[in-house]
Amino acid sequence: MLELVALVCAAALIVWTPIEARKVAGGWVRKRHKGTPEEFRAQYRRQLGLFVWLGIGIGVVNMALGVWLETEAARATIRLATGGLWLGVAASALFGRSILDKAAR
């Protein structure tokens, strides 16, 4: 069940991150943010950096667990798929950072 939650969350982040990065690059700011759009853009870029490292960490760990520790083929496949999706989260966050960097120029 936990793997299913991780799969769904990773898929949602892959889709949502570039969408929200484009909004932030266009000047969108969350209502609760008390500051300028430039400050929010910098804060959001740091958040995307966290998603890069989180995606790499969770992805590599899930893939390693799927390859070395799982004895059932179905569970190993789910672990590998989850790891691949979290590596996709890292790639999506890197893409989002590049969107923000282009807008800052």
pLDDT score recorded for residue 97 = 96
Q: Please state the pTM of the whole predicted model.
A: 0.89
Flag whether 18 is in a domain: no
Helix and strand counts by DSSP (H, E) for the chain:
3, 0
Q: What residue has token string 């000047």?
A: 27
Flag whether 89 is in a domain: yes
Flag whether 101 is in a domain: yes
Give, in order, the Cα–Cα distances in Å from 42 to each of 20, 23, 36, 60, 104.
Answer: 14, 14, 10, 27, 10
Q: What residue has token string 């998603």?
A: 51
Domain boundaries, position 105: 36-105
Q: Could you give phi then psi for residue 69, rounded to 5 degrees?
A: -105, -25
Flag whether 67 is in a domain: yes
Flag whether 23 is in a domain: no
> Which of the residues in the chain have pLDDT under 70?
none
- Burial degree of 24 (CB within 10 A; 0-12, 13-18, 19+): buried
pLDDT score recorded for residue 89 = 97
Flag whether 53 is in a domain: yes
What domain count does the chain have? Answer: 1
Flag whether 97 is in a domain: yes
Flag whether 2 is in a domain: no
